[in-house]
């Protein structure tokens, strides 16, 4: 039997914290890819990350504390950076779910694991912050092996 590919999904929030469309999209991707021998881990931030690891049908959810969430952009601390790097070392591919500026920072300081981006939405409602964020977005996009647009 072929060894499973290890995928690390990266997004700012995940179940059980919020109930949202993007979280459901990640869950569906992780469930659907199990048939292709892809095991998923989901890295996320949470205001209450206890327990830090959750086993769910779609994969393992690895949670670190969200320190702040300005403009709906959860930010983690050094523990989140360390935990992401550990999870990335175990992954064959990192799947960044865009937009999440802190996820772009994680990618920039990551260890070079091949990465793809699932582009879910433009940054809307944050005109000034979007302008500031744009150089990081383009740097991140140029470094991706592939970009999948969902709409």
Render pLDDT for 24-69 as a digit per residue (tens, 0 to 9). Answer: 999 999 999 999 999 999 999 999 999 999 999 999 999 999 987 8
Rounded-to-integer distance, Cα 87 and Cα 3, Å = 18
Q: What is the pTM for the complete model shown?
A: 0.91
65-87: per-residue pLDDT in tens? 998 788 777 889 999 999 999 99
Q: Are 71 and 129 in contact (CB under 8 A)?
A: yes
- Average pLDDT in the chain: 91
Helix axes 101-108, 78-90, angle to 10 degrees: 60
Residue 73 confidence (pLDDT): 78
Q: Which of 88, 148, 83 is nearest to 118 (CA)?
A: 148
Give how far Cα 61 sits from Cα of 28, 49, 99, 122, 132, Å.
Answer: 14, 10, 19, 25, 30
């Amino acid at each position: 039997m072929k060894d499973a590919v290890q995928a690390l999904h990266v997004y700012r929030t995940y179940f059980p914290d919020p109930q949202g469309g993007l979280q459901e999209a990640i869950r569906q991707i992780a469930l659907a890819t199990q048939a292709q021998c892809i095991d998923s881990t989901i890295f996320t931030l949470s205001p209450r990350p206890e327990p830090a690891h959750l086993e769910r049908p779609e994969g393992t959810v690895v949670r670190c504390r969200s320190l702040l969430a300005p403009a709906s952009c959860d930010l983690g601390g050094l523990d989140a950076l360390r935990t992401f790097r550990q999870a990335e070392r175990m992954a064959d591919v990192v799947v960044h779910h865009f937009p999440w500026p802190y996820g772009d920072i994680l990618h920039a300081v990551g260890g070079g694991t091949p990465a793809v981006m699932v582009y879910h939405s433009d940054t809307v409602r944050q005109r000034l912050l979007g302008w500031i964020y744009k150089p990081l977005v383009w740097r991140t996009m140029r470094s991706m092996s592939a970009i999948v647009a969902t709409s």
